[in-house]
Structure formats: C-alpha cells, structure tokens
C-alpha cells in the first residue's frame, strides 16, 4: 500500500520517515516534516572519503556538511536516534564509474563495510518558514519536484571531485525578495541566502523550462527567479570523479533527520 504526498503532509516527522523506510512512499520530500532539517545524501567507498570531505569543506555553500557515518556503518547517529541511510531515503541513484546505473528504494543489498555516508543540508528545510511568512512555494502547492540546474559557476576541486555548482530555483514575488533573503539567512546549514536572482543566463542557465533535475516551475509576471546553491552539486562532481560505485539520494527525495530546522554548526546531536 502506498501513501500520497498529501497524506504525508498531514503526519509528523517520525511517521514520515517510517513510511519511507517501509517503502510506502517514494516521492519528493519538499513540504514534509515541518520543523526538521532535510539532507542530501552521498555514499562513497572510504578510499574517496577524505577527498570528498575536502570538496565539501571547500564548497560549503553548495555542500554544507551536516553528518558523516563511521566507515561501514549505515547509521547517521548525530542526525537521529535510528536513521538508517540504507532505507530512509525515498529513492536512491546508484552510479557506477560516474554513470547513473539504476534507481532503487533500498540499498541494503549494495551496502558494504568500506562505505561512508555523508549528509548535506537541503534548502527544503527552510521552505516551511517561507510558507509561514505567506510566501508561496509553487512546487509544493502543485506536488512537483523543485527544478535544479547546472550552472557556469565552478566548484573548487578536491582530488577527483570537481565540476559545476548546481542550483535550485523558486519563483518569488518580487516585492518579497528582501523577506526571502532575511528568512533563508537563518538556515546556514540549508544553503542560506540565494546566490543569484533574476536573469538565469548570467549563471549559465539557458532555459528555465528545461531543468537538469526536477520539474519546470513557472515564473509569473510579478515574480523573480531566485536561485539557491544545491546539494545535488556532488552528483555533478561524481560524474567527473567516476568512483567504481557511489550512491546518492534521487534529487528532490531527501533524508529527513531529527535535527531542528534552524540548527547551527556544529551539529553534534539530534533535537530532543
């Protein structure tokens, strides 16, 4: 039996993660688990772990590192009492030699004792605050996945990891742009303030109707396209690094943590 997005919007954060773990929901997580940090996920062999951690450290806007597992452990203890990264994401992308090979809902058969998991803060976290302030979020209202784009902004390389920054886009009422900056500034572990707004071509985006990931989102006459750094950036870097195997969340389908949405670094324990 599967659950719908609207059904999951009505239940609390632990129950949302339980539904995902049970395999009854495999859609986007934007708009779910109000009050809690959502996270992007990257899983690599330990031989790539140090270089990837350096990549995150050098690119904190796109890759705000909020949690790392012990080698061989699938449990993200600092983000939740029982988070199992093998099952607690709606869908996973499995890359082999830098190429997307399959999409699965459970990576338990792929897990081994040489793997390390990394959690990176996600902008879905602050969308609840935007809604509370009366700012519409189109992809939530329409049950779509936020559009994400590769840009012409280069990341700072670390070992084999390099590539373009990825951004997510939301159409914001022009008169509320200053408010959006003020709100998102309170969420430094969820990418913080936007990196660009207005003309998408300035950052290398040719067509807002053709996102690299997610669904197109309209920009109305009294709205402005606003772009945040995005935790899908590592997936672009994986295309260049080409590790034998790497696993990530499917873009738009996040790991829901037990950490309060406005947590500050360093994150050492989940919210009570």
pLDDT in tens, 210-245: 999 999 999 999 999 999 999 999 999 999 999 999
The model's pLDDT over 144-173, given as tens digits with 9 standing for 90+, comes to: 999 999 999 999 999 999 999 999 999 999
Q: Is the pLDDT of residue 265 over 80?
A: no
Look at residue 264 in the predicted model and tell me its pLDDT: 64
> Can you name the residues that pair with 118 across neighbouring β-strands?
42, 68
CATH of range 5-123+239-260; options 3.40.1640.10, 3.30.470.30, 3.40.50.300, 1.10.8.50: 3.40.1640.10
Radius of gyration of the chain (CA): 17
Q: Do 125-229 and 5-123+239-260 fall under one CATH topology?
A: no
Please state the rounded mean pLDDT for residues 55-77: 96
Please state the rounded mean pLDDT for residues 28-57: 95
Residues for the chain: how many in total?
272
Please state the rounded mean pLDDT for residues 44-64: 97
Q: Report in angstroms the alpha-carbon separations of 90 from 24, 144, 150, 156.
A: 9, 15, 23, 30
Look at residue 271 in the predicted model and tell me its pLDDT: 44
Please state the rounded mean pLDDT for residues 109-133: 95
CATH architecture of 125-229: 2-Layer Sandwich (3.30)
pTM over 0.75: yes
pLDDT classification of 266: cutoffs 50, 70, 90: very low
**Which sequence spans correspond to the domains of the chain?**
5-123+239-260, 125-229
Look at residue 81 in the predicted model and tell me its pLDDT: 85
Tokens of 170: 């939301």
Q: How far apart are CA 103 and CA 83, in angstroms?
A: 20
Please state the rounded mean pLDDT for residues 86-105: 97
Q: Is the pLDDT of residue 267 over 60?
A: no
């Amino acid at each position: 039996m599967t659950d719908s997005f609207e059904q999951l919007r009505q239940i609390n954060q632990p129950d949302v993660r339980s539904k995902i773990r049970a395999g009854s929901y495999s859609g986007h997580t934007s708009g779910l688990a109000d009050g809690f940090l959502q996270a992007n996920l990257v899983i690599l062999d330990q031989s790539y772990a140090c270089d990837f951690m350096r990549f995150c450290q050098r690119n904190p806007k796109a890759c705000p590192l909020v949690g790392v597992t012990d080698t061989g452990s699938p449990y993200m203890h600092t983000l939740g009492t029982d988070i199992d990264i093998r099952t607690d994401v709606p869908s996973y992308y499995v890359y082999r030699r830098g190429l997307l090979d399959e999409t699965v809902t459970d990576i338990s058969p792929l897990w081994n004792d040489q793997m390390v998991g990394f959690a990176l803060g996600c902008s879905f976290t602050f969308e609840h605050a935007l809604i509370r302030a009366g700012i519409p979020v189109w992809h939530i209202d329409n049950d779509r996945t936020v559009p994400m784009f590769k840009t012409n902004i280069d990341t700072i390389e670390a070992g084999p990891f390099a590539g373009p920054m990825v951004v997510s886009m939301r159409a914001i009422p022009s008169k509320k742009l200053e408010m959006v900056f003020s709100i998102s500034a309170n969420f430094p572990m969820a990418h913080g303030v936007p990196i660009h707004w207005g003309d998408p071509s300035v950052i290398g985006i040719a067509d807002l109707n053709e996102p690299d990931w997610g669904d197109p989102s309209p920009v109305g006459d009294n709205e402005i396209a606003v772009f945040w750094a995005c935790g899908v950036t590592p997936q672009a870097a994986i295309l260049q690094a080409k590790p034998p195997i790497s696993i990530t969340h499917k873009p738009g389908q996040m790991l829901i943590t037990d950490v309060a949405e406005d947590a500050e670094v360093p994150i050492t324990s989940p919210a009570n």
